[in-house]
Amino acid sequence: MPPFLDESDTTVNFSDKPRRGRPKKQSADSLDTREALLRAGMLILTESGFIRSGIDPILKSVGVPKGSFYHYFSSKEVFGLAVLDRYRRYFDAKLDAFLLDEAFSPLERLQRFVQDAQDGIVRHEFKRGCLVGNLEQESTLLSEAFRGQLQLTYQSWQARVAICLLASQKQGEINLQTSIEETAQAFWMGWEGAVHRARLVKSTQPLSLFMTFFIQAIQIKTD
């Protein structure tokens, strides 16, 4: 992905800048506090998921009292949905950075993206996974709103991989037996499973194995 967040990764500010002449709806301090809560939520949910995660550790990590939390978010679910939205936009940008890098061939871009993910999970000692993958594991316990946002997130990620695969196909790197859209979907289905297995066994072997099989299935043989 890489699904493994660094604290530095989450400092990217996706908030819209106010236009000149338009009065600010929130103070800078208020926006900073809300952003800090979202960053903390991203980090904790990549480790523990939503159901198991309490609000108190998030508040403690940023020094915000519980009463103030409800000034920014009316409930834990509203907060969780905001964290998911923040993560999707963070990750969309991360995917674009890898998959649109024309310094490498399209297939190399996908492989570099996967290698970065493997490096990330090792760096965090297999404690952090993918926030979206964690939420998917809890989907039967989540609201319809959560499930809908998870599906939209996967659609966004699959579309980006599909664009990369299309470019790879045009360059003669791959030969697909199914549609590009289905192949992109298969990539994410397999990848999320590999991430969970890697955390279980504390090894990147499941990630490497999945990618080997995926590349072998689509790459044009040069023999």
Residues with Cβ within 8 Å of 35's Cβ and at least 6 positions away in sequence, in order, are 13, 15
CB atoms within 10 A of CB 29: 8
Position 17 scores a pLDDT of 40
Position 128 scores a pLDDT of 83
Nearest to 183 by CA among 219, 151, 146, 207: 219
Position 29 scores a pLDDT of 58
CATH 1.10.260.30 is held by the domain 9-218 = no
Q: Give the residues across from 174 on adjacent strands.
A: 219
Show me where the domains of the chain are located: 9-218
Q: What's the token pair of residue 53?
A: 């995660």
Torsion of the alpha carbons at 137, 49, 12 and 123, rounded to the nearest 10: -90
How far apart are the C-alpha atoms of 161 and 47, rounded to whole Å? 25
- Across the chain, which has 223 residues, the per-10-residue mean pLDDT values are 48 39 47 87 88 87 86 92 92 94 97 92 87 89 93 95 97 94 96 93 95 94 68
pTM (whole model) above 0.75: yes
Position 170 scores a pLDDT of 95
Position 223 scores a pLDDT of 58
Residues with Cβ within 8 Å of 216's Cβ and at least 6 positions away in sequence, in order, are none
